[in-house]
Amino acid sequence: MLLSEHKALKLEIKSLPEKEKDKLLLRLIAKDKVLNEHLHFKLLETAEDLILRQEQLYELIENEVESLLISRKVNSKETLLKLRKLNGSINHHFKVTKDLNSEIELRIHLLNRIPIDFNESVLSSLHKFNEKLSVYFVRTAVSTLNKYSKLHEDLQFDLQAPINNLLNKIYSNKTAAIAETLNLPKAL
């Protein structure tokens, strides 16, 4: 049930006493963890806290990718799982902070760091994960580039080199065919 569809309910909510509205609002906020965290960030945190959150995510990405690279069994399945997990962390960061610039920076950093070149045989059970990883990787890059185009020119200029590194990585691996299919540019 959407509130916009029930104008009478909306009017009644607006007419509630201030104290009762506050109680209802606090109960609603308590039920949504992301909303709770977003309000905490918006009302109580500063620009330094945003930088701290971003640095913590950079560190998490570095640690997870490093543990993946030193693993004896690094393969496309494990890489895909790590990539999805870290992408989820970046999504959560954006839902809380609503900062598009840091989201794009983090995602570009993740995509540049994560390995995507695996020589798994077509007969291997891991081959399907190699294909899934390639598609997921390129689609994430396309989504990131779409968001990048919405940034201010100055911010775009700052991110141009890492994006070109990412595009070079995509077109110098098996992901090139998928990138061409999705009309991903070769450079900015």
Query: Distance (Å, rounded) from C-alpha 23 to C-alpha 18?
Result: 9
For 68-96, how does the pLDDT look when each residue is reduced to its tens digit (9 = 90+)? 989 877 888 999 999 999 999 999 999 99
pLDDT at 123: 62
| Percent of the chain clearing pLDDT 70 (strictly above) | 96
Q: What are the sequence ranges of the domains in the chain?
A: 17-181
Contact 100, 150 (CB under 8 A): yes
The DSSP annotation for 127-152 comes to: HHHHHHHHHHHHHHHHHHHHHHTTS-
Contact 79, 116 (CB under 8 A): yes
What type of residue sits at position 149?
S
Q: Please determine, for residue 29, whether its predicted confidence score (pLDDT) is greater than 90.
A: no
For 108-162, how does the pLDDT look when each residue is reduced to its tens digit (9 = 90+)? 999 999 999 877 665 667 778 889 999 999 999 999 999 999 999 999 999 999 9
pLDDT at 120: 64
Residue with tokens 């039920």, as numbered in its chain: 31
Tell me the average pLDDT across 41-62.
Answer: 95
